Amino acid sequence: MTSPRDHLPELSTEEKASLTSGKDFWTLKPIDRIGLPSIMVTDGPHGLRKQAAESDHLGLSESVPATCFPPASGLGSAFDPELAERVGAALGVESAIEDVAVILGPGINIKRSPLCGRNFEYVSEDPIVAGSIGAGLVKGIQSQGVGSSLKHFAANNQEFERMTASSDVDPRPLREIYLRGFERVVKDAQPWTVMCSYNKINGVYASQDPWLLTQVLRDEWGFEGLVVSDWGAVNDRVAALVAGLDLEMPGGDGAPDRAVATAAASDPAVAAALDVSAGRVLDLVGRAQARPAVAGPLDVDAHHALAREVAGRSIVLLKNDAVDGAPLLPLAEDASIALIGEFARTPRFQGGGSSHINPTRVDSALDALTAAAGDRVDFAPGFAFDAAAEQDALRDEAVALAASRDVAVVFLGLTDAEESEGFDREHIDLAAHQLALLDAVVAANPRTVVVLSNGSVVALPFADRVPAIVEAWLLGQAGGSATVDVLLGAVNPSGRLAETIPQRIEDTPAFGNFPGSNGHVRYGEGIFVGYRWYDARDMAVTYPFGHGLSYTSFAYGAVSAEVTESGDIAVTVPVTNTGSRDGREVVQVYVAPVASAVERASRELKAFASVAIAAGSTTEVALTVRREDLAYWDIRVDRFVVEGGAYRVEAAASSRDLRGSVTVEVAGDAVLVPLTPESTLTAVLAHPVAGPMVAGAFAALQEQFGGEGDGIMSGEAMAKMMGSFPIGRLPAFGWGLDRDGVDQLLAAANAPQG
């Protein structure tokens, strides 16, 4: 049986070029004479957005009904790749039913700043979490014979000038933070496609960067699929083709195809690149054709139930203090409840922009709580989304209700106008009228629960004044019911923060370097992104990365760790559910070298597991820290390097709730750094070849100038001073090494070894 690729030699240059751009917004071009069909790609990533009418990228046309699962800001807080894989499989099923070949997602860009307008669509501030959840989604989607599109590659961390700005990132943070999650997904799950981002990286558009799209993605990571542009991301189509971008979306007036065909006719390099890219498009079509036919209709109820389960797992219980001797949550079975806040009646369950889903149904917290608690519940909107509305009257009504009930549950959050694709937030504060409402409610009834609806973190100036806070994110179409499940105790919360909640925007790592100016944004915080920044500075935060409470309690036993034959670190820790409810604990493993030759974070998350543990039971939790994740990017040799020595391995319930620690010895990678005249004497002495050649002369100099008696300075001080001397400058001081000697030394050091 022939495959589409078999027809590649038959195609004309013009036909090959036609394959490398879309037919329209969502479909690829067919070639009828060889029987090549058009296939469809469409938006994700937390639900299928297949437009039912005329295509448009902005979503002005209504899309077909589909299940809206929790966006990545919620799903990431579940800290469970297997749960993500189940969501991915459901997305794959819905895509297959609608004959969609590729669903555009997941998005795993790092949450560099809480101000990024698209943070609701991204997983975490940590690359291991983002990469692990992303890999789960990709595996699930592709298990159904549907392709995924890993996005946005790379360093796409803001909406301001997103189509033109240059993300100026040094090599270490680029590799260790912004590319590491993409690397994990590519190596673990092989997405069918990778979508390049709009922005430039260090001055080069991602769409035409051969270093990014070919050297890193394909040559280093082994990516086997197709690279597609974000919609409208291509600046120079021919340069992009040669760089490794296979498919430009959307389709246009044909000018890009003509430019490619013309260049290919006169330039063998372009012709060769065109053959490669056309072949990859044919392979994608072949993969789509290989999917077995899927019969509908969609099992709406089953997918809604999954969305509810996932939403419940995504909720983070931030605070749950005792009131009158018992935690305020879950709500008492006989409590009268004042349900306050327009978000409880009109839920904001997804972000705005290209990922906006037309849900099969939507649950509100008001309906769900009324159904569960009946006449124990009364509702007051408390505020209106329209800022011009009469907020004072709505607040007074809500305060009166709160004063007359046992407990007040207040829903606060961000509206679409405050948080969406296309623009960044200007601050992290909730609206003033919402905060005023909460102050008045708490004054009337101290037994107040706050429920948050937001895609990215908000400041919580009331954190020390209310007994219970629930971070409910944007939870998809079943979020209202799932939130009530948690409030009433039907679900024991197990979500954890995948991003730090800071006290002030001024405390955040990117403050002062976001969103940049004059077409450039400098990633001046380097590797210190998210919790790495706060922990390294011992800076106060409202709630730390990895934090989340439960209605039960967990105790950790002694941590054990050993280095395996493969170089990974196998970590085990017994965890006991010491409470009276079944629950889940997210066990987190943080690792750091005890001593390092380079600047490192205080600790970095390297493994995690969400573990169900019955009340009174103990589970031996086993986790694996991959050796490759211990490495830092060594700018001297342009590769990842694992330092040898002692590593501290910590089992924790958050980056600041450390439950146990053990130290292991890790063998280091051999690194032979090329020496130059600018290499310091310290570097020369450490070199296995050059070091012994100069050690004697250096010792003599120390004795001559740094003796304990009449020397210029002590031997130790002399060693520090001379250690910083470039070897090429020593001849000027007449210290026993002339310029010929330096040249001979460098030649010997840099000669091929063995």
CA distance 42 to 24: 12
Question: Which of 649, 671, 672, 660 has the alpha carbon at shortest distance from 568?
Answer: 649
Dig out the tokens for 542 from the structure.
């409202």
Which position among 43, 230, 257, 283 bears the catalytic label?
Answer: 230
Cα separation, 14 vs 631, whole angstroms: 46
Strand intervals (E) in 93-240? 102-104, 147-153, 166-168, 193-196, 200-201, 204-205, 226-229
Contact present, 578 and 554 (Cβ < 8 Å): yes
Q: Is the dihedral of CA 103, 106, 107, 109 positive or negative?
A: negative
Q: List the Cα angle 371/377/380 in 5-degree steps.
A: 115
Token pair 């909406």 is found at 159
Q: Tokens for 23, please give them.
A: 């037919």
Q: Which amino acid is present at 488?
A: L
Do 571 and 579 meet the contact criterion of CB atoms below 8 Å apart?
no
- Cα gap 402→410, rounded to integer Å: 9
Does residue 663 sit in helix, strand or coil? strand
* Interatomic CA distance for residues 713 and 706, integer angstroms: 5
Rounded Cα distance, 66 and 359, in Å: 5
CB contact at 8 A, 29 and 38: yes
Q: Quick one: which of 99, 273, 88, 316 has its CA closest to 185?
A: 88
Give the N- to C-terminal CA distance of the chain in Å, as an integer: 51
Query: Would you call 657 a catalytic residue per the annotation?
Result: no
Report d(CA 515, CA 519) in Å as an integer.
10
Cα–Cα distance for residue pair 38/43, rounded to 1 Å: 17
Residue 209, φ and ψ in degrees, nearest 5:
-105, 100
* Cα-only R_g, the chain: 29
DSSP 389: S
How is residue 178 annotated by DSSP? Answer: I
Give, in degrees to the nearest 5, the angle at Cα 402 between 399 and 405: 155
Give the other-Cβ count within 10 Å of 292's Cβ: 8
| E strands present in 376-417 | 377-380, 407-413
What is the spatial distance between Cα 100 and Cα 94, in angstroms, rounded to a whole number?
A: 9
Residues taking part in catalysis: 230
